[in-house]
Amino acid sequence: MIRIFSILAGLFFTAALLWSFGNGAYSAITDPAAVTAEEMFHKHPKQLALASDGAFGNFDHRQLQRGFQVYQEVCSACHALSQVSYRDLKQLGYNDDEVKAIAAKAQVPAYNAKTGEVKSHKGLATDHFPPVVYGGQGTPPDLSLVTKARHGGGAYVYSLLTGYQNQPAELLKHFPDAKVPDGLHYNPYFVNLNIAMPPPLTGDGQVTYGDGTKASVDQMAKDVSAFLVWTAEPSLAKQHQTGWPVLGFLLFATVLAYMAYRNIWADKKH
């Protein structure tokens, strides 16, 4: 009895699926989905090699400091870094005094419960990076986690920063209506090709690196990408440093346990 019900239920589900399949196939033939401009022109991130890559990756502190400088002087005009606190910067190799000095340059808003006012105070090492007020077009995302929040991670940020170009004539040939809207900028690494952010890194020497590295656009883009990999995962190096001994121990323990197993089962055919 149960098998009759079962077969009836099976026919019900399979018939409904065939119905959907047939309809879907019919419309796929008669009305095939048109290729979109995004599908044709969107590009995957370029290659970017960072010191933090791979299972032995560690942060290059000098590069992180350069990237931090690019963030401070360029990105921070529009993008917040709310998950990061100034004291975290010690991990980049700054000492206490340098961290305090960096924090003191910022104005951090705080609510005063006695007066009811929101007043800014000079940043302290314990403060997080303050929120950024932005009134222009688009919504600049918080950058704290951006390299974990996009496919491609640091390579995506690097590609985006160096990927601005004129809209290809071929695109307009295929999609005459797809002209870049006013105020947006063509960038094939951005998800829908048109990004509100104007090219932030415009020319060599936009920042002056303290360590003498030449500040080319490519170099600045690499450095700030490396910095944002750090802001998203400050414990990355520690993960790698902890991971190897853990795996080493587990390998040893596994081999030992395997030998114990072989020993115990030695006389037992199975």
Partner 1 sequence: MSFPWANDYKPSHPFMQWMDSRLPLPRFVYDAIGAGYPVPRNLNYWWNFGFLALICLGLQVVTGIVLAMHYAANAGIAFDSVEHIMRDVNWGWLMRYSHANGASAFFVVIYIHIFRGFYFGSYKPPREMVWLLGVVIFLLMMATAFMGYVLPWGQMSFWGAKVITGLFGAIPLVGEPIQQWLLGGFAPDNAALNRFYSLHYLLPFVIVGVVVLHIWALHIPGSSNPTGVEVKSESDTVPFYPFFIAKDGWAALAFLFVYCAVVFFAPNMLGHPDNYIPANPMSTPALIVPEWYFWPFYAILRSFTFDFFFIPAKLMGVLAMFSSILIWFFLPWLDRSPVRSGKYRPLFKKFFWYGLIPSVLVLGYCGGSHAAEPYLMMSQLAAFYYFAHFLIILPIVSSIERPDPLPFSITESVLGHDDKAALGGKAALGAAA
The radius of gyration computed from the CA coordinates of the chain, to the nearest angstrom, equals: 27
Nearest distance from residue 229's CB to partner 1, in Å?
A: 12
Q: Residue 264 and residue 260: Cα distance in Å, rounded?
A: 6
* Structural contact between residues 78 and 132, judged by C-beta atoms closer than 8 angstroms: yes
Each residue 43-82 as x (binds partner 1 by CB under 8 A) or -, in order, gives ------------x---------------------------
173 binds partner 1 (CB under 8 A): no
265 binds partner 1 (CB under 8 A): yes
Beta bridge partners of residue 110, listed in sequence order: 119
Q: Residue 5 and residue 239: Cα distance in Å, rounded?
A: 54
134 binds partner 1 (CB under 8 A): no
110 binds partner 1 (CB under 8 A): no
Of 47, 71, 70, 50, the closest CA to residue 60 belongs to: 50
Q: Give whichever of 214 and 259 is closer to partner 1, judged by the CB atom.
A: 259
Residue 94 has what DSSP assignment? -
Residues within window 174-193 making contact with partner 1, judged by CB under 8 A:
191
Q: Is 141 exposed, middle or buried (0-12, 13-18, 19+ CB in 10 A)?
A: middle
Q: Residue 228 and residue 144: Cα distance in Å, rounded?
A: 7
Nearest distance from residue 146's CB to partner 1, in Å?
A: 8
Pairing state of beta strands 194-195 and 185-186?
antiparallel
In the list 58, 72, 76, 83, the residue contacting partner 1 (rule: CB under 8 A) is 83
In the list 113, 115, 133, 151, the residue contacting partner 1 (rule: CB under 8 A) is 151
* Structural contact between residues 21 and 133, judged by C-beta atoms closer than 8 angstroms: no
Q: Residue 250 and residue 247: Cα distance in Å, rounded?
A: 5
Q: Give whichever of 3 and 114 is closer to partner 1, judged by the CB atom.
A: 3
Which among 67-75, 95-103, 144-152, 172-180 is the span making contact with partner 1, rule CB under 8 A? 144-152
Positions in the binding site for partner 1 (CB under 8 A): 2-3, 6-7, 9-11, 13-21, 23-25, 28, 33, 55, 83, 88, 141, 144-145, 148-151, 191, 232, 234-235, 238-240, 242-243, 246-247, 250-251, 253-254, 257-258, 260-261, 264-265, 268-270
